[in-house]
Amino acid sequence: MNNMSSDQQRWSASTAAQSARPRVLIADDHTLVAQGLAKLVGDDFDVVGTAMNGRELIELARQLSPDIALIDIVMPELTGLEASQKLLEAVPGCKVIFVSMHSKAEFVREAFRAGASGYILKRSAASELVEAMREVMKGNAYLSPFIAKDVLSVLLLPHAPSLTARQREVLRLVADGRSAKEIADYLHISVKTAQFHKTSIMEKLGVHTTAELTRYALEHGIAS
């Protein structure tokens, strides 16, 4: 028999909710890295799952509704940037932190454009990761001090053209060496539409060759 009053029950439920640890989903295609991150945050957060590629990350996010996702930028299937955008559409309340080896300011800018709340480097993860996670859970942004100065200088420059989610997906496939027919088959669109997307991307970025498209994709974390 439950002898608790309704006020006590409400207080108990509220206390339990407040004491519940944030749920974390980790995405990295290197198993040892994913396991290492899980161990680093395990004392303060509940790791509810790990994903090996971008598509698996999105599927798990829909199932598990994490509070925080720790994501690598370069992953198979979908890049971390593409996966982040889709994850935030599926779980809007989730906070995304990129944990990456890439320190280029362009990568960081693209990460925050994709909805990230934080960005830290893998080489500094041990000392910064939990701090970064606590900050983003408070609603703040976190950027590794190792790259803050370089990133600020790039952010002060005029913004680069912004691509739509579909354009980014097509660009990634172009950079992977896919033909227009292969892109069309993969995305379930017509060859004419695939060619249209490629032409539109080239016009928007002011480039004229597939090689230039590939270079842009690599420099901005859209392809690996």
Per-residue pLDDT reduced to its tens digit, 92-142: 999 999 999 888 777 888 888 889 999 998 887 777 899 999 999 999 999
Q: Which residue has the tokens 């249209």?
A: 196
* Residue 223 predicted with pLDDT over 80: no
> What is the second-level CATH architecture of the domain 8-155?
3-Layer(aba) Sandwich (3.40)
Q: Tell me: domain 165-219, CATH 1.10.10.10, correct?
A: yes
β-pairing, 46-51 with 118-121?
unpaired
> What are the boundaries of each domain within the chain?
8-155, 165-219
Q: How confident is the model at residue 90 (pLDDT cuts 50, 70, 90)?
A: very high
Of 46, 86, 200, give the one whose Cα is nearest residue 71: 86
DSSP letter for 161, please: P
177, with CB counted inside 10 A (0-12, 13-18, 19+), is exposed
Residue 66 has pLDDT above 60, yes or no: yes
End-to-end Cα spacing for the chain: 60
Query: HSE on the CB side for 43, CA within 13 Å?
Result: 5
Determine the pLDDT at residue 130: 92
Q: How far apart are CA 199 and CA 98, in angstroms?
A: 30
Average pLDDT value over all residues in the chain? 83
* pLDDT > 90 in the chain, percent: 38
Indicate the pTM of the whole model. 0.67
Exposed e or buried b per residue across 138-169, where buried means at least 16 C-beta atoms within 10 angstroms of its C-beta: eeeebbbeebeeebeeeeeeeeeeebeeebbb
Q: What was the pLDDT predicted at 154?
A: 54
Distance in angstroms (rounded) separating the CA atoms of residues 92 and 202: 31
Q: How confident is the model over 141-188, as pLDDT tens digits? A: 998 887 776 666 555 445 556 778 788 889 888 888 899 999 999 989
How many whole angstroms separate alpha carbon 48 and alpha carbon 65? 9
pLDDT at 132: 93
Residue 152 confidence (pLDDT): 62
Q: What is the mean pLDDT of residues 36-62?
A: 93
In angstroms, the CA 80 to CA 98 distance is 8
